[in-house]
Structure 1
Amino acid sequence: MSTNTPRRRAGNGDSNLKKTPKRSLEGIRIRPYVDGDAEQVRELFWRGYCVGANLVLEDGSATEEGIRDLRTQPIQAIAYLAFVYGIYKLLSRPSREQVWWGALSCAASAVWVGYWRWHLRSSFWAYCRESLEDDLKDVGKYYAFDKGEAGKDEDDDGGVSAFWVAEAIGSEGEGKIVGCVGLDSRTQSDKKISEVRRLTVSQECRRKGIAASLMATLTAYARQKGLAKLVLTTTSYQPTAREMYKRSGWEEVQRTSLSPFVRGVYQHTMQFTL
């Protein structure tokens, strides 16, 4: 990129973005992020990933999906067996010793289930807090649309980055952010490649094509900027997202187990050639 190109912050009216439709869905417009969006974007991400309100999951957040999945995991089957054993001991005309063993078995099963639920929730929430202190701390600065040459500015890496929001327009013209997505060049050494991050849509607005519209806007911008490839990572806790990506032409290039203790849960790396 030319060293004479001034660096602008996201949402400052980049002329390259004027071709993006102002309103691609009824009542929804996809637009570049501006600094006034910060709190809504952070809240959207937190609720979408940790609390519940994410399009890319069938019934809520990644945390909720993970906790539901735990119920079918072998590590939880141990607790179920222990609980059944404890109930059997308590109901089979028990002696004092049988009552003690039955109560202990039931208590141990409850502690085991509770521990894994706490461990999973803590892992998700730690990731969310880390994200809010990383790229989502100052979205406009981190995902600035125009960057200069790598090394000229500590915030520039010479790659292509951007961030968009989906805004629902109310009856009186007021706007509420219901979706977002980012394009991050910092994670890639090859600046012809950029990573898709933070795709989130609020629960009340899912299944309306908002995620697809956000991705279409991002992809068009990436092509315009001359990128060769897009990459992203998602998890087995986000099956709807993976299906959407596959329908759009993304291919899975790597699958990595997230935990040796949890069966069938992976991080999926996907790529899209422009």
Structure 2
Amino acid sequence: MTQFRRPPIGVDGQGLHACRKRVLSGKHTLADDIGDKRNERSNSIRVRAFQESDAGRVRKIYTQAMLYGSDTLGPANSPMSVAQSSQLRKPLALILYSTFIVGLVFLFYPPTRIPGLILAFGALIPFIAWKVVISIKFKNFVQEALEVDLLDPQKYYGTNPGGFWVAEVVEGEMKGLIVGCVGLNSKVDRDLRTAELKRMTVDPSYQKKGVGRQLMIVLIEHAKENGLSTINLSTSNFQTVAMHMYEGFGFSKGKQVWVTVNFMSFTVDKAYLQHYSLDL
């Protein structure tokens, strides 16, 4: 039997044991077992089924989370920012640092100022260009999602055994604001026993507040109630926080699919997709 390695935030004492037991048995309901305690500790958030009026907000959250993140959580907290900052630690970057420094030194001596200027700018251009390339790749990825499943999540994911859910603020000044979403695509398996978790997204301003865990609990509960046996997902190495959450819910690591990234005829980076699965 699959067990949680890390408990859902906001459930404690005897309630934690009961919550685990009912999620895994398929007899757990969000209203009964998470309810007020979880909402109070997660800025009064509830998880509900997607409605057509949520579409615009869902697309905005996904774009913001994937590309830009939030300044309140510090720099480089979006996958695109993490990917861009990773270039600063690559072997090619060390060569460019050295070239740039040599160029600056040459600028101090009149006979070598022009070569120094060329070296300095020549070292900066690849950094800027590579950052632009990463930005384009991520924006294309996001745009594809917006034009495919997030164009009409209700139609794409359907209901029972699939589904699409949103996390909504239910109290305070931000009442009614959608701050997260997740989808379960059951169309990947003909016998409808296996489904794929997709688009797990939390508004950057609401990350690290238990919103993702609430979405996960509802999705797992729904999957069990509808007879699914396995949930699969994949995520990139630029999303380590998400990886830790999935592993905390009992997802097991599967294969890694490596991707070589070429730039200016050089192999400058390697990224991978990490596959996970959860047996219910």
Structure 2 length normalisation: TM-score? 0.79
Look up the equivalent residue of 2:215 and give its one-letter code: L
Find the counterpart in structure 1 of residue 277 from structure 2: 271
SS in structure 1 at match of 2:158 = coil
Shift of 1:265: 3.1
SS in structure 1 at match of 2:129 = helix
Find the counterpart in structure 1 of residue 31 from structure 2: 21
Residues 200-236 of structure 1 show CA distances to partners (whole Å, capped at 9, x for unaligned) of: 1112212221111111110111111111111111111
Alpha-carbon separation, structure 2, partners of 1:129 and 1:106: 35
8 Å Cα contact 1:181-1:199 kept in structure 2? yes
Residues 223-258 of structure 1 show CA distances to partners (whole Å, capped at 9, x for unaligned) of: 111111111111111111111111211111111223
Shift of 1:101: 1.5
Shift of 1:59: 5.0
Distance of aligned partners of 1:42 and 1:268 in 2 relative to their CA distance in 1, 3 Å threshold? same
Find the counterpart in structure 2 of residue 3 from structure 1: none
What are the within-5 Å matches in structure 2 for residues 217-232 of structure 1?
Answer: 217-232=218-233
Find the counterpart in structure 2 of residue 41 from structure 1: 58
Shift of 1:77: 2.1
8 Å Cα contact 2:64-2:204 kept in structure 1? no
Structure 1 length normalisation: TM-score? 0.81
Residues 151-181 of structure 1 show CA distances to partners (whole Å, capped at 9, x for unaligned) of: xxxxxxxxx3100100012337830000110
Distance of aligned partners of 1:173 and 1:259 in 2 relative to their CA distance in 1, 3 Å threshold? closer
Higher helix share: 2
Shift of 1:144: 1.2
Alpha-carbon separation, structure 1, partners of 2:116 and 2:174: 63
8 Å Cα contact 2:76-2:85 kept in structure 1? no
For structure 2, which runs of at least 5 residues remain unmatched after alignment?
Answer: 1-25, 262-266
**Identity, % of aligned pairs?**
28
Shift of 1:114: 0.6
Matched, 1:205 2:206: yes
**How many residue pairs are counted as aligned between the two chains?**
243
Matched, 1:90 2:107: yes
For structure 1, which runs of at least 5 residues remain unmatched after alignment?
Answer: 1-15, 147-159
Residues 29-69 of structure 1 show CA distances to partners (whole Å, capped at 9, x for unaligned) of: 11010111011101010101112159x99853211111121
Find the counterpart in structure 1 of residue 158 from structure 2: 144
CA RMSD of aligned residues (A): 2.7
